Structure 1
Amino acid sequence: MAIQIYQAVLATLAVFILHRLYRYSKLSSRAAGFPPGPGTVPFLGNLHQLPISRPELKFATFARQFGSITGIKAGCQNMIILNTWQAVRDLLEQKGSIYSSRPTIPVCEIVVPGGLNPALNPYGDLWRGQRKKLVDFLGGERTDKMKPVQDAESTQMIFDMLKSPVNFEHHVDRSFGAVILATVFGQRGKTFEHGGKIESFFKVEEQWSAAVGPTSSPPINSFPFLNSVPDWLTPWKGWKLRALGIKGEQERLYIGLLNETRERLSHGKGANCFLSQCLVTQEKEWYDDTYLAYLGGVLLEGGAETSSSATMVFIMAMAAFPEVLERAQEEVDRVCGVSRLPGQEDTANLPYIRACMLEVLRWRPVTPLAIPHHTTAQDTYQTYNVPAGTDVVINCWMINHDETFYDSPATFNPSRYILNDFGASAPVDLETNKGRRLNYTFGAGRRVCPGQRFAENSMMMLFAKLVWAFDIEATGKLPLDLQEGWTEGVVIRPKNLPVKFKLRGGDRKKVVHDAWLEADAFLQQFE
């Protein structure tokens, strides 16, 4: 009898396993009407074809083969890659009501549960409330009122680089982090000291970016059964504990910053910063401290990391293409001379610096695939079926390197943006290109970054000051081809750049020192 029961249990278990295997095999195959893409294999779908590093380059290969939209099966998870600006416009811009959510990312559910991070939470009332707060702070002319802080912090960056050029990456990070600290939290980030606010932020941000990497946690969306498997039995042993560690560090940092802002506000300091304004209306609008702390934290994440990463690309490009650097220097010298640093009042008169910024964002976008969108209802596009629950990726890399639109898109050539605003190889028909963005580094649709203008203001001032003050030279091989020497994650940047900074001629050292004294006096209000 016992043997019969044992055999029955084994038979039932075998049937269950075979049924699940059959089910996952069917789910991983391409359904009729799904957008075209590479062939699938049972269980994996297309996962075996997706590289861990630089997936945007593989997606570009798919785009040339399959057209404006590529269908991918990541196990049983549907994914579409939008390879043209028209596809982005048609779906994310014109059908935003069903293309504006976010996929469920298990590690994010641990680190930022309950929709705390507006960049990651689902589309709905909570997100709309958070979005409105961010747009009210960053939208329109309001962002230009923050230019004096951006001007002063970029001046300190030049001064810091003059004193210690070997630590230039820390100085860049400090500058952008300090701008957010001042405008959002009303505090000064004067140094990149170990254990300080800015160093702590970039440290936890590096861990956070690694945690959401494609191989850092089990692909539960692709294989839901993995959610029931203890992580110590998988190759991702300890991923939940690592995520909890990141959650603790973020909470400590963001809530600590909020409490310091509240304390400063009680002493009459920092009344004009974003979180001080939120704290004034906290009881009326029923915001708890965690909600506000993470609202400020996402501004720190979005405003500091992306801009500093783009600046590292700019520095690499100036070292790699000395003829571009020379032309940029000629422009700032013509506008500012040698007796003063470029400032907030000069950016409108520096079209070539602006062209360099736009070309940096096009040539090596620091968010080549951005954060996926997620459909909340079934849709039809062209002749294809897009199921509900599909992940939607903007292939910013492919759009930025479209050979039918850009002349030699692989070449770094800021002059393309002098010829026309879009950098196109031919005059742009505005009717045909209606709805096209200058670039897609900041996303698109209802999830487009609300801080784009803020970021561009910061980069313009910092880029202008860099080329005014320094000659930038390569001291080794630069990672121009993306194959190695870059970080991994949602936001990427070249790392350990082999470059040196040489102060240009004239009395620039004294000019920088005097400008820093003035900037330091201005920034003392945030201490």
Structure 2
Amino acid sequence: MSMLFESVSNTLRSFAANQTRTSLGMYFILLLLLSHLLLKLYVRRRDNPRGLPYPPGPKPLPLVGNLFDFARENESAAYLGMAHEHGDLVFLSALGINVLIVNNFQTANEIFEKRSVNYSDRHESPMINHLMGWDWSFGHMRYGERWKNHRKMFHRQFQQSVAPIYWPVQLKAAHGLLRLLHENPGDLINNLRHNAASVIMSVVYGIEVSPHDDRYISVAETALDGMARAANPGAFLVDLIPSLKYVPSWLPGAGFQVKARRWKKAVMEMRDAPFETVLKALKVGTASPCFVTNLVTDIEHKEHRDEEMEQIRNCAGLAYAAGAESSVSSLSSFFLAMILHPEVQQKAREELDRVVGRGRLPDFTDRDSLPYITAITKEVLRWNPVAPLGLPHMSTENDIYRGYFIPAGTLIMGNSWTILHDPETFPDPLRFNPERFTNKPDGQQFSPNDPLSTAFGYGRRICPGRFMAEAQLWVSVACILSVFDITPGKDENGRPVSVEAKFSSGMICHPLPFNYSITPRDEHTRRLIDQAMLMDA
């Protein structure tokens, strides 16, 4: 929603620049917009005949509502400021779109968990679902049987009890990351991207990605870049006026059609290309055991095989889409935190050396004996949550909550950043402090003290791959701290460069580029890495 005003402005500027050709089209678009607003106003009054108050929020302006109140950057921090003024619920409405931002853990639990029947739907974005081709992703599907069938299939393969099956692949990928960091420490982000892709492609498709210029990775990056740009409600005018999806791409102001066509090509190739590769390998008997081969083999003689085959294709595609950039975000935040807090590195190394020793690398059998490493992974997820606002839920029906009227079709956004930076729950919240998670039970209870309850979403829409994601972060952190020192980079005079904790805006939050240095702890580092890679082979 942060790009709502910019979307409208850019479209109108485009029309104005081409007015000799498009004056009729401009008036048509403005008429559509006015009709849309009048219809929304009528529905709003019809559905709330008692005149109940809406949740608190900034005072709307005539016609445009809260159009200028939506944050255009640093969304989470901006909405935190609104929460300080208006409370744990902040309601915004503009151009017919209602948005409710939830800024408190208890309130999020009441809405997304206790009232999940009404707050588990998704808004069908004309740009994302229809024009860009993401309608196959159950992360974007409307709540219903189709979504439930996809979710059930995905959950069966990635639930907590199944997660240990993937540990050998994840450990091997962590060792591969160590090798990349040792051989090319100056290319951190590309190393992390390759690592994330290697885990997911191996687990889901049994495919080993190329170290450089892998076609699967490059296509997925294009598809996910489009998703990140379109994810905020109102980023494109077509999301405000759905009938614009029928406007031809040559019409000035309809440049979104050109972008959508390019992104859709990448989206469909990301989903279909690796899946077809696995099917061909299955036919000739060369496929490796993986998510796709296991499920395809299971349905070989089923009655509704085509329908389930499509579900497998869709779930496999979503596994990559959901896991790739989130893993890069978490690990890059970890590196930044280690630079800013060398005392955390030191304490972690002391635990690793005491428990594991220097003769081997840590693995999942050491997990229960390395509570400080676990605390670091939790603090990474809290300190910079991957998706600060996540994908918005949508209310299915009109609701009354605490005396406030919440209309059907309202987009509900859990502000995970604000919740995970609540000073009452997490004192000194901007400081990276793993100690806040030491000596606490590591159970599965929904607790405000555990970022796993918030960082991966809410209610029935919580990320079903969270156990695999958290395990990958844990083993990567443990292995990296075993063999590397992470310090600030140095300037031309050999002095450490100042590093600050700054992060990008958008659906997925990454640290902004920072100077760093990754060096082996000692002369045994290469031997440990080679030894681990040899055992993996």
Classify the secondary structure of the residue corresponding to 1:463. Answer: helix
Identity %, equivalent residues = 26
Structure 1, residues 335-392: CA drift from partner, whole Å, max 9, x if none? 2211111112222221111111111111111110000000111111111111111110
CA distance in 2, matches of 1:166, 1:269: 36
> Whole-Å Cα distance in 1 between the matches of residues 521 and 131 of structure 2?
46
Structure 2 spans left out of the alignment, 5+ residues = 1-27, 490-496
The partner residue of 1:218 within 229, 237, 240 is: 237
Letter in 1 for 2:82: F
SS at match of 1:251: helix
Contact 2:339 2:487 in 1 (8 A): yes
Q: How many residues align?
A: 492
Structure 2 partner of 1:150? 170
How far is the alpha carbon of 1:479 from its aligned partner? Answer: 4.4
For 1:284, the equivalent position in structure 2 comes to 303
Residue 324 (structure 1) aligns with: 344
Q: How far 1:120 moved relative to its partner?
A: 0.7
Partner of 1:510: 527
Aligned to 1:23: 38
Tell me the secondary structure at the aligned position of residue 432 of structure 2: coil
Distance of 1:291 and 1:18 partners within structure 2: 37
Select 1:46's aligned residue among 49, 52, 66.
66
CA-to-aligned-CA distance 1:204-241 (integer Å, 9 cap, x gap): 322332233567521633x5676676666665x41122
Alpha-carbon shift at residue 250 of structure 1 (Å): 2.1
Per-residue deviation, residues 48-102 of structure 1 (Å, max 9, x unmatched): 1112212111111111111121111132211111111111111110111111010
Matched, 1:264 2:276: no
Structure 1 CA distance, aligned partners of 2:235 and 2:448? Answer: 40
TM-score normalised by the chain length of structure 1 = 0.86
* Distance (Å, rounded) in 2 between the aligned partners of 1:150 and 1:374: 35
Going from structure 1 to structure 2, the CA distance change for 1:203 and 1:245 (only over 3 Å counts) comes to closer
State the SS of the aligned residue for 2:91. strand
Change (3 A) 1:85 1:364: same
- What SS does structure 2 have at the residue aligned with 1:385? strand
1:442 lines up with 2:456 in the alignment: yes
- Which of these residues, 411, 414, 433, is aligned with residue 391 of structure 1? 411
Between 456-465 and 100-109, the greater mean CA deviation after superposition: 100-109
Question: Contact conserved, 1:110 with 1:243, CA < 8 A, in 2?
Answer: no
Question: What SS does the aligned partner of 1:207 have?
Answer: helix
- Matches of 2:448 and 2:358, distance apart in 1: 42
Describe the SS at the equivalent of 1:472.
strand
CA displacement 1:381-426 (0-9 Å, x = unmatched): 111111111110001011111122221112111111114359xxxx
Alignment of 1:304-453 (within 5 A): 304-420=324-440, 438-453=452-467
Aligned AA (2:149) = G
Instruction: Provide closer, same or farther for how the CA distance between residues 314 and 265 of structure 1 changes in structure 2, counting only shifts above 3 A.
Output: same
What secondary structure does 2:147 align onto?
helix
Residue 287 of structure 1 deviates from its aligned partner by: 3.5
Q: 1:157 to 1:189 in 2, by over 3 A?
A: same
The equivalent position to 2:261 in structure 1, one of 238, 244, 253, is 244
Shift of 1:180: 1.1
CA contact (8 A) 2:222 2:266 kept: no
For residues 219 and 334 of structure 1, the distance between their equivalents in structure 2, rounded to whole angstroms, comes to 58
Give the one of 182, 198, 214 matched to 2:217.
Answer: 198
**SS of corresponding position for 2:306:** coil
Deviation of 1:293 (Å): 2.5
Partner SS, residue 166 of structure 1: coil
User: Is residue 2:484 matched to residue 1:470?
Assistant: yes
Question: Equivalent residue of 1:496, what SS?
Answer: coil
Alpha-carbon distance in structure 2 between the residues aligned to 1:371 and 1:98: 16
Tell me which residue corresponds to 2:197: 177
Using the TM superposition, give the Cα deviation of residue 454 of structure 1 relative to its aligned residue in structure 2, in angstroms. Answer: 0.7
Q: CA deviation at 1:434?
A: 8.8
Three-state SS of the structure 2 residue aligned to 1:47 is coil
Q: Give the Cα–Cα distance (whole angstroms) in 1 for the partners of residues 80 and 401 of structure 2.
A: 20
Quick one: distance in 2 between partners of 1:435 and 1:505? 37
Helix, strand or coil at the partner of 2:365: coil
Note if contact 1:257-1:293 (Cα within 8 Å) is conserved in structure 2: no
**Cα distance in structure 2, aligned partners of 1:293 and 1:112:** 17
Cα RMSD after superposing both structures:
2.9
Question: Does 1:480 pair with 2:484?
Answer: no
Query: Which of 139, 148, 153 lines up with 1:128 in the alignment?
Result: 148
Q: 1:500 to 1:214 in 2, by over 3 A?
A: farther
1:142/1:254 CA distance change after superposition, 3 Å = same
Deviations 1:263-314 (A, max 9, x none): 2222334453111122221653333565433321100111222122111100
* Cα distance in structure 2, aligned partners of 1:67 and 1:133: 39
State the TM-score, normalizing by the size of structure 2. 0.85
Task: Measure the CA separation in 1 of the matches of 2:473 and 2:326.
Answer: 11
Secondary structure of 1:35 counterpart: coil
Are positions 1:461 and 2:475 aligned together?
yes
- Contact 1:52/1:215 (8 A) holds in 2: no
Partner amino acid for 2:365? E
User: Which residue number corresponds to residue 6 of structure 1?
Assistant: none
2:295–2:312 contact (8 Å) kept in structure 1? yes
Q: Return the letter of the residue paired with 2:223.
A: V
Counterpart residue identity of residue 196, structure 1: R
Q: Which moved more, 1:204-213 or 1:465-474?
A: 204-213
Distance of 1:111 and 1:103 partners within structure 2: 14
- Pick closer, same or farther for the CA change 1:128–1:21 going to 2, 3 Å: closer
Note if contact 1:40-1:73 (Cα within 8 Å) is conserved in structure 2: yes
The whole-number CA distance in structure 1 between the counterparts of 2:461 and 2:90 is 21
1:229–1:241 CA distance, 2 compared to 1 (3 A): closer
Matched residue, 2:24: none
Could you say if the C-alpha distance between residues 148 and 62 of structure 1 is closer, same or farther in structure 2, counting changes exceeding 3 Å? same
One-letter amino acid of the counterpart of residue 449, structure 1: C
Q: What are structure 1's unaligned runs of at least 5 residues?
A: 1-12, 423-429, 522-527
Secondary structure at the counterpart of residue 100 of structure 2? strand
Residue pair 2:36, 2:96 contacting (<8 A) in 1 also = no
Q: Which residue of 2 aligns with 1:301?
A: 321
**Matching residue of 1:499:** 516
Which whole-Å deviations, capped at 9, do the CAs of 1:124-179 have from their partners, x for residues lacking one?
A: 00000000000110013211111000000110110111111112211211112111
Answer yes or no: is the 8 Å Cα contact 1:178–1:198 preserved in 2.
Answer: no
Separation in 2, partners of 1:253, 1:229? 27
